[in-house]
Amino acid sequence: MNLILRAQVAKAAHAIVPSWPVESFIAVNPLAGHEPRPFETAATPGVVLTRSREAYLADADRGRIVDADLEAALAERVPELAGKLTIGGNSVSAVSVAVLDMKSAQWNSPGATEPSAPWLDEYLATWVSSYLNPDPLWPMPHKQQGFYQAWRALARRDPSLPRTARRTMAELPVEPDAALAWALVQLGVAAEAVTETLRAELQYLPGWVGHIKWRAEKIGDIDLLSYLSVRLTLQAVLDLTPLPSSRKPLIAEEAQTTLWHRAEHVARSIGGSRADRDDIAAVSRVLATHPVPDHELTWQKAYELHYRATLVASLRDTDPFTPRPQLQLVMCIDPRSEGMRRHIEVPPDVETFGFAGFFGVPVRFSRYRARGAVNSLPALLTARHHLTEHPTDPAKADDHIMRGRTRDALRQSTHRADSGAVTPFAFAEVSGWLYGAISVLRTLTPTLQARIHRFLTPSTAALPSNVTIVDAFTLEERAAMAETAVRMMGIGQFAPLVVLAGHASESMNNLYQSALDCGACGGNPGAANARASAAIFNDPDVRALLAARGIDIPSDSFFIAAEHNTVTDAVTVLDRHLVPQSHVHAAQTFDRAQRAAAGRLVKERAQDLPGASPHSPARVQGRAHDWAEVYPELGLAGNAAMIIGPRQMTRGVNLNRRVFLHSYQTELDLDGAALETIMTAPLVVAQWINHQYYFSALNPATLGAGTKTIHNAIGTIGVLAGHAGDLRRGLPWQSVGLGGQLFHEPMRLTVIIQAPLDSIGRIVSRNQVLRNLLDNDWITLTARNDPAAPWRRYTPYGWTAAPTALKGT
Amino acid sequence: MTMTMNNLTQMTRLEVVVPARDAPAIRELITSAGATGYTSVSGVSGIGHHGQHSGALLFNEYDTLTMLITVLPPDNAGELIDAVQQLLSTSSGVMFVSDTYVSRPDYFQ
C-alpha cells in the first residue's frame, strides 16, 4: 500500500460530490464541494451559475425583475453605490446609474457545454459500466479481484488496443497502488504535481467518478484509486501525456465594451447632449465599482429578491384557532404538500402541520419476508434501526407471498427467454400475441390496464399488518422520537384524529421515479415511517412518558398513517384495521375531505402540467399508469423557499407549491434545540434539493441528466444518454423544462424563520454547514422575532433591514 | 519496542478530528496503514480554526465533526502520519500525535 499516494488521491477527490444510484435518488448540490467558498467562485468547467443576459432582460421587460429589485441587489452586492452624482445638471443616485449600465452593457453568456467524450473517456466508461452493471448478460471475469485487477487481466486480450500496448500490459504491477505510482513515473509527472494531475483526471467522466466515490464509501467494490490506476496506466501504456486541465471555468466575458464607453452611454442616456467629459468621468468612477463580469450575479440576485419580497409581503398573521381542532394533518415539508394542506384546511377546525417526511423515525425498512430493505431516512443519517411488519393473518400472507414468488419465477424465466441469444425468436412466436395485446391495452387505456394488473397481482402492501416498532426501538427511544416530533412541529393541542401522511409518487416506465418520492426518506415512499410514527404515538406506554414530560395527548386522540400520492393527489389511509370503532366516523370524514381537496388540487396542478387540462382531472391522475408519459408530475419544480414558523403565517396564502413548510412554535422550544434540529437537517435537505434543481436547470448537459427520451439504464445505478458515455448526474430535463424553455425558476433557497433572532444567530454561529451556506451566499435567511417585529436579513456582519414590498410591481 | 513502567509497551497514538464527510478517507488510510483497529467518535464539539462546532446533531451526522483515534507501533506510524498530514494540508481538520502505552501490544500489531 502506498499511503502517500492514497492520501493524494483522497485530496484530489475532496471536492467531488458522491452521487447516489438512481434507485434511491438523493438530490444533492452537485457543487457542494465549493460551499466553503463564495457562490460566485463556484463556476467549474462547463458549468454556469446564472441564466443568460437575454433571459434576465426578458424578465425585466415583463416585470418579473423591476428596477427596485436591481437597486436592492446592487445595494447588497456593492455597498459603495450609496451616493448621488450630477449628470448634465440632473441629480441622480449612483445606484440608478448602475442599473442603467446593467441594462445596456453587453456580456456574453458562457452557456453550458456538452461534456467532451474523447476516446479515453469512452473506453473507461465502457469498462466501468461493465464492471459495475449488477445484472449483466455476461458477467465480467475476474470481477471479484477488483476493478484494476480485472481490467489488467482482460485488457491484455482486448483487440481494440495496439499489440505493443498489450505486450506492455502483461508486465504491469499487480496492485493498483503500484500501478498508479508506475504510471505517474512513466508519464513524467513530478512529485509536487501528482495531486493536481490526479485532480485534473478526475474532472473527466464526472458522473462515474461521483458514483465511484459514493460506492467506495457505501459498498466498497470499487474506489477512485483503482479507477485512476486504470486511467493513468492506460495513458502510460499508450503514451498519452496527461495535461493539467486546460478546461478553465467559464465566466461571462466583457464584450469589448470599455468602461469609458459604458459610462458615455449611461451619461448620454441621462443628460443627453448636456453630459460632458466630467460627467462621463464621474459615471465611469461609479461603474468601475460594478464591472461587467459581476453583472450576471447581480441580475440573479435581483431575480431572487423580487420573489423573496413578494413572498414576504404575502405572509399573514391569522389568529390561531383556539378551540380544539377536529382534525390535524401532518405532511412532509415537501412543497407538493403545500397544495394539499391549503385545499384541505378550508374548515377552521382542520389544522395542518409540516414536518420532515420520515416523521423523525429513521429506519431501514423491509416488508414482511421481503428480500432486501430500503433506507427510509434522510441521507444525512445512518440506518441503525430495522423496521419490518407482521401480518395480522400470517397464513394468508404466506399464501399470498407464495403466489407472488411463483409470479416472480415466471417473470424471471420470460426475462431469460427474451434476453438470450436465440430464444427471443421462438419466444416471440409463442407469446408475442399476448404481449402485443397487453401493450395495446397499456397504450390505449393505461388506467384500465393498471386496474386489471392490480386485480391479478395484488400487492403484499394491501394485506393488514403491523409495523414492528417494539422490536426496532426501546420504549425510551420511542418516547424521545415522539417528544422531538411534537416540539419540532409545535403542536400545542391534539385533535381527536391526527393523520400523519407520508408521500410517494406513482409512474410507469420512469427511471427517475425515486426522484419523485420522499427526499427525507432517502428517495423512497414515506408510508413505512408514517405507520411507525402513528404506532408510536398510539402506544400507551409512550403517552405515559410524554405526559411526564409535559406533553398530554388526550385519550380520545388517535393517530392514523396515510400516504399522499403526488400524481393522483389521493391521500390513502393506511392500517385501516387499526382504526378503533370510536374513530371510524372521523376517518371517513377525513376521506371525504381529502377527496374533495384532491379534486381541487388536481385541477390546480393541471394548469402547470405540460399537456394537461383542468377540465380533465382523470387524465392527469391517469398519468400514474401511462408508460409513454414523460411528465407524470412536476415533482419539486419551482421550489424556491422554506418557511419555518407557525401555520398562522401562511394559512390561506397560495404559495403555488413552491415552498418547503416546516411548522415551528418558539413557545414550545424554549432552549432552541428543536430549531437547531430543523436548521441543521430539514433545511439542509431542502437546500440540497434546491441546488439540485438549480444546477440541473442551468446546466442540463453537465449537471443535469438531459432528456429522458434517450436514456438507457445501467442496472439500478443510473442512466446513460444513448448507449455509451458518462453516467448522467442530476435531474432529467423533463423535471425542469419543456421544449427549449425552463418551467423551473432557478433561484437559491430563500429561508424565512419566525423565531428569536438571538437563537437563530447562535445556531448559525455554532454550525459550520450553516455558516458556509449563509456567509457564502448559497442561500439567504430572512427572519423576525415574532409577528409584530420587522423582517430582518441575515448578513455575516449581523442582522439588517430586509427589503420591503417592491415599487413598480 | 520500548518497555516502560509496569511492563507497558510504547505505541504511537493518532487522533484526527475532521468533518464527518471526510472521515471515510481517513478511515481508509488508517486501515491501509495496517492498523488493527480504530475508535470513531461522531458529533464531537469544540472551537477551532474555523470557529465553533456544535456537537452531535439529532438528524444530521453528515455535517458534524468526527474524531478518529488509532494506536499502532511507532515503526509503522510514520507513513500514516505523513499521509494524514498530506490529506489535511488543504482541507479542514487537525491531527494530534502522541506516545501512548498499552498493556497488550499484540492487539496493535
Tell me the pTM: 0.94
Could you tell me if residue B53 is inside a domain?
A: no
Domain that holds residue B100: 5-46+61-108
* Regions of chain A short of the pLDDT cut 70: 109-117, 242-257, 321, 804-809
Query: Which residues on A lie below 8 Å from B29 (Cβ)?
Result: 3, 6-7, 10
From chain B residues 29-58, the ones with a CB under 8 A of any chain A CB are: 29, 32-34, 50-54, 57-58
Q: How many CA atoms lie within 13 A of B55 on its CB side?
A: 3
Asked if the structure places residue B51 within a domain, the reply is no
One-letter amino acid of A301: K
Strands B51-53 and B46-48, how do they pair? Answer: antiparallel
The answer to whether the Cβ–Cβ distance between B57 and A7 falls below 8 Å is no
B29, B50, B60: residue with CB nearest A681: B60
d(CA A85, CA A294): 22
Per residue, what are the HEC states of A537-583? HHCHHHHHHHHHCCCCCCCCCEEEEEEEECCCCCEEECCHHHCCHHH
Q: Which of A315, A379, A672, A722 is nearest to A520 (CA)?
A: A379
Per-residue DSSP letter, A240: P
Please give the grid coordinates belonging to residue B4.
Answer: 516502560
Is B32 close to A767, i.e. CB distance below 8 A?
no
Contacts of A382 in chain B (CB under 8 A): 61
Q: Determine the Cα–Cα distance for residues A634 and A625; give it in Å rounded to an integer.
A: 16
Distance (Å, whole) CA A481 – CA A361: 7
pLDDT of residue A15: 92
**Residue A1: C-alpha distances to residues A169, A179, B25, B29 (Å):** 21, 11, 14, 10
Angle between helices A224-238 and A206-218 (to 10 degrees): 140
d(CA A401, CA A800): 62
Q: Which of B11, B72, B8, B60 is nearest to A682 (CA)?
A: B60
CB A685 within 8 A of CB A362: no
Q: What is the pLDDT of residue A116?
A: 58
Give the best residue of A1, A2, A3 to mutate against chain B (max B CB count within 10 A): A3
pLDDT score, position A113: 56
Chain A: give the shortest CA distance to residue B6, in Å.
Answer: 34
What pLDDT does residue A245 have? 47
CA distances from A342 to A108, A380, A593, B19 (A): 43, 29, 12, 40
Phi/psi of residue A273, nearest 5 degrees: -70, -15
Q: Averaged over B24-43, what is the pLDDT?
A: 95
**Which chain A residue lies closest to B78 (C-alpha atoms)?**
A3
Q: Is residue B99 part of a domain?
A: yes
Cα separation, A64 vs A55, in Å, equals: 11
Facing residue for B61 by CB, picked from A356, A382, A676: A382
Q: What is the DSSP letter of A80?
A: T
- List, in order, residues 6 or more apart from B82 with CB less than 8 Å away: A3, A4, A7
pLDDT value, residue A247: 47
Residues 343-382 of A with CB under 8 A from B: 356, 360, 362, 378-382
B-chain residues near A36 (CB < 8 A): 92
CB contact at 8 A, A331 and A353: yes
Q: What is the pLDDT of residues A752-775, one digit of tens each?
A: 999 999 999 999 999 999 999 999
Q: Which residue in B has a C-alpha nearest to residue A17's C-alpha?
A: B21
Q: Give the separation between CA A785 and CA A791, rounded to whole angstroms.
A: 8
The cell for A557 is 386522540
Residue A109, class by beta-carbon neighbours within 10 Å (0-12 exposed, 13-18 middle, 19+ buried)? middle
A3/B50 CB distance under 8 A: no
Residue contact B19–A14, C-beta within 8 A: no
**Looking at CA atoms only, how far is residue B107 from chain A in angstroms?**
21
Chain B within 8 Å of A680 (Cβ-Cβ)? yes
Q: How far is B101 from chain A (nearest CA, A)?
A: 25
Q: Nearest by CB to A768, which of B32, B53, B84?
A: B53
Judge whether A765 is closer than 8 Å to chain B, CB to CB.
yes
Choosing among B50, B60, B68, which should be mutated to test the A contact, i.e. which has the most A CBs within 10 A?
Answer: B60
- With beta carbons less than 8 A apart as the criterion, state whether A636 and A515 touch: no
**Residue B58, min C-alpha distance to chain A (Å):** 6
Residue B1 has pLDDT above 60, yes or no: no
Instruction: Tell me what pLDDT residue A256 has.
Output: 46
Report the alpha-carbon distance of residue A497 to residue A590 in Å, rounded: 9
Measured between alpha carbons, how far apart are the two ends of chain A, in Å?
65
Number of domains in chain B: 1
A490-517 pLDDT, tens digit each: 999 999 999 999 999 999 989 999 999 9
Q: What is the pLDDT of residue A254?
A: 47
Kindly report the CATH number assigned to the domain that includes residue B96.
3.30.70.120
- The predicted-structure confidence for B40-96, as pLDDT tens digits, reads as follows 999 999 998 888 888 888 999 999 999 999 999 999 999 999 999 999 998 889 999
Cell numbers at A27, concatenated = 438530490
